[in-house]
């Protein structure tokens, strides 16, 4: 047999014309370049926090060429910049006039952006980080309390300390609940950018979580300690003279007249160092161990960490640049100094009304005057960080 070779088949060969999908290489085609680039990051490279917060909230002064797509019944639109008396550069420039269809933007148009967009939360908080952080805090607090239950640690408390915790540590949950829900949650949609509103929302959740921590702790103590009155904190909050100054000030913070800046400033810059840290750090956490209690400081300390290491950080990052603003530094300084003059005397008066609390435990904490001086020094340092003068009222 002989084999006849088949002749080579004539098959059309593919010819690439660069018209097929995916053939063209663009500058942003690479995986490493697939990040949002419509904003200027705070550092050389944008962070995940910036990707999910910056420019998420629309602003007709920042790329929203069609103007606000919604408004309120009184005619205001979007997020009015006059929801605080504070100002950042560029806010007085008029919004661009737009025509039909094209947006009416002239050639070489520059957006009348404003300095509020420069704010970045140093904690870089957004939804995932918030849940992760609070889950870790709750897990740790629960482990500490459960360990104390297993070890019968609550049996070591002195009788006066039991009474102190049921009335006064319990009363503090009211403050955390009020500030979390009626100051920060109420303000969190009033900020001029999504960065501000996210930070305020996280601050709100820190306080609401801490209030819940104290409420659950109160229930645990009611089960573990014979004679522990889980409802005593209600009477203390409503009637005890030591709490009425702090209560009046706390409720006044919820009634600030339509200014999210003053609400946040008065709470985190004035109330927290002069009342919050005075009570939490300089009384409860100083008194617990000598009275046989190693558990309460871990619960209260979680809330103290929220403020000292996280909430105060974003507050300073928010307000400090305003005292150095390239257009409105003097305006903002005068405004904030006025807020200090308004709120500091109220805070000091409320603090002095709390003085009898220092005498209630068997093992006494440091003297009230020493504790107040420590709180005053802390507050003075915050004023310095903000570029503000320490108010004369601090000498009271």
Residue appearing with tokens 């080579």:
8
Mean pLDDT of 42-52: 87
Residue appearing with tokens 């949950």:
173
The mean pLDDT of the chain is 90
Mean pLDDT of 35-60: 81
- What SS3 state is found at 235? helix
Band (pLDDT 50/70/90 cuts) for residue 330 is very high
Band (pLDDT 50/70/90 cuts) for residue 36 is low
Look at 29-38, 193-202, 261-270 and tell me which has the smallest mean pLDDT: 29-38
Q: Is the pLDDT assigned to residue 102 strictly greater than 70?
A: no
The answer to whether the CB of 179 falls within 8 A of the CB of 253 is yes
Two tokens, residue 334: 């005068």
Mean pLDDT of 298-310: 96
For the chain, the first-to-last Cα distance in angstroms comes to 120
* pLDDT attached to residue 111: 75
DSSP annotation string for 1-44: ---PPPPPP--PPP---S-STT-S--TT-SGGG-S--SS--SSS
The answer to whether the CB of 201 falls within 8 A of the CB of 233 is no
| Of 4 and 323, more confident | 323
Q: Render pLDDT for 231-288 as a digit per residue (tens, 0 to 9).
A: 999 999 999 999 999 999 999 999 998 899 999 999 999 999 999 999 999 999 999 9
* pLDDT attached to residue 3: 64
Q: Return d(Cα 136, Cα 190) in angstroms, integer.
A: 29
The answer to whether the CB of 138 falls within 8 A of the CB of 214 is no
Closest CA to 86 of 332, 302, 298: 332
What are the φ/ψ torsions at residue 71 (nearest 5 degrees)? -160, -175
* pLDDT attached to residue 97: 67
Q: Is the pLDDT assigned to residue 26 strictly greater than 60?
A: no
* pLDDT attached to residue 58: 79
Band (pLDDT 50/70/90 cuts) for residue 24 is low
* pLDDT attached to residue 147: 95
| Percentage of residues in the chain having pLDDT higher than 70 | 89
Band (pLDDT 50/70/90 cuts) for residue 370 is very high
Q: Render pLDDT for 159-183 as a digit per residue (tens, 0 to 9).
A: 999 999 999 999 999 999 999 999 9
Helix (H) or strand (E) holding 330: helix 329-353
| Percentage of residues in the chain having pLDDT higher than 90 | 71
By CB neighbour count within 10 A (0-12 exposed, 13-18 middle, 19+ buried), where does 303 fall? buried
Mean pLDDT of 325-350: 97
* pLDDT attached to residue 103: 53
| Of 271 and 67, more confident | 271
Q: Is the pLDDT assigned to residue 35 strictly greater than 60?
A: no
The answer to whether the CB of 343 falls within 8 A of the CB of 394 is no
Q: Is the pLDDT assigned to residue 101 strictly greater than 60?
A: no
> How many helices (H) and strands (E) are present in the chain, helices listed first?
15, 0
| Of 264 and 39, more confident | 264
* pLDDT attached to residue 13: 79
Closest CA to 116 of 267, 322, 386, 336: 322
Q: Return d(Cα 112, Cα 327) in angstroms, integer.
A: 14
Helices 194-224/170-179 angle, 10° precision: 160
The number of CA neighbours under 13 Å toward the Cβ of 288 is 20
Sign (positive or negative) of CA dihedral 337, 188, 112, 35: positive
């Amino acid at each position: 047999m002989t084999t006849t070779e088949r002749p080579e088949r004539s098959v059309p060969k593919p010819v690439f014309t660069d018209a097929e999908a995916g053939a063209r290489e663009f500058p942003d085609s690479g995986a490493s370049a697939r990040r949002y680039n419509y904003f200027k990051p705070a550092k050389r490279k944008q962070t995940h926090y910036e990707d999910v917060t910056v420019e998420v909230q629309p602003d007709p002064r920042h790329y929203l060429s069609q103007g606000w797509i919604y408004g309120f019944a009184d005619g205001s639109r979007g997020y009015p910049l006059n929801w605080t008396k504070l100002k950042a550069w560029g806010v007085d420039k008029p919004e661009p006039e737009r025509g039909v269809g094209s947006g009416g933007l002239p050639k070489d148009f520059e957006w009348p952006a404003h300095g509020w967009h420069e704010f970045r939360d140093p904690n870089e908080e957004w939804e995932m980080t918030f849940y992760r952080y609070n889950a870790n805090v709750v897990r740790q607090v629960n482990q500490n309390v459960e360990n104390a239950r297993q070890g019968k640690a609550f049996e070591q408390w002195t009788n006066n300390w039991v009474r102190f915790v049921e009335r006064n540590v319990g009363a503090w949950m009211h403050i955390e609940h009020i500030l979390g829900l009626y100051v920060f949650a109420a303000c969190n949609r009033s900020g001029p950018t999504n960065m501000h509103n996210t930070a305020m929302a996280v601050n709100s959740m820190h306080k609401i979580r801490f209030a819940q921590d104290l409420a659950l702790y109160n229930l645990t103590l009611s089960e573990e300690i014979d004679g522990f009155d889980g409802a005593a904190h209600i009477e203390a909050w409503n009637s005890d003279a030591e709490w009425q100054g702090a209560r009046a000030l706390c409720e006044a913070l919820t009634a600030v007249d339509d200014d999210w800046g003053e609400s946040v400033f008065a709470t985190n810059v004035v109330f927290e160092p002069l009342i919050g840290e005075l009570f939490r750090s300089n009384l409860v956490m100083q008194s617990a161990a000598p009275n046989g209690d190693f558990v309460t400081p871990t619960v209260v300390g979680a809330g103290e960490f929220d403020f000292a290491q996280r909430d105060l950080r974003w507050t300073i990052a928010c307000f400090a640049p305003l005292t150095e603003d390239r257009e409105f530094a003097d305006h903002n300084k005068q405004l904030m100094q006025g807020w200090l003059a308004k709120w500091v005397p109220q805070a000091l008066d409320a603090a002095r009304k709390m003085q009898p609390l220092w005498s209630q435990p068997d093992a006494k904490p440091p003297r009230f005057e020493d504790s107040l001086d420590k709180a005053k020094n802390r507050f003075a340092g915050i004023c310095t960080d903000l570029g503000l003068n320490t108010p004369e009222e601090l000498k009271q």
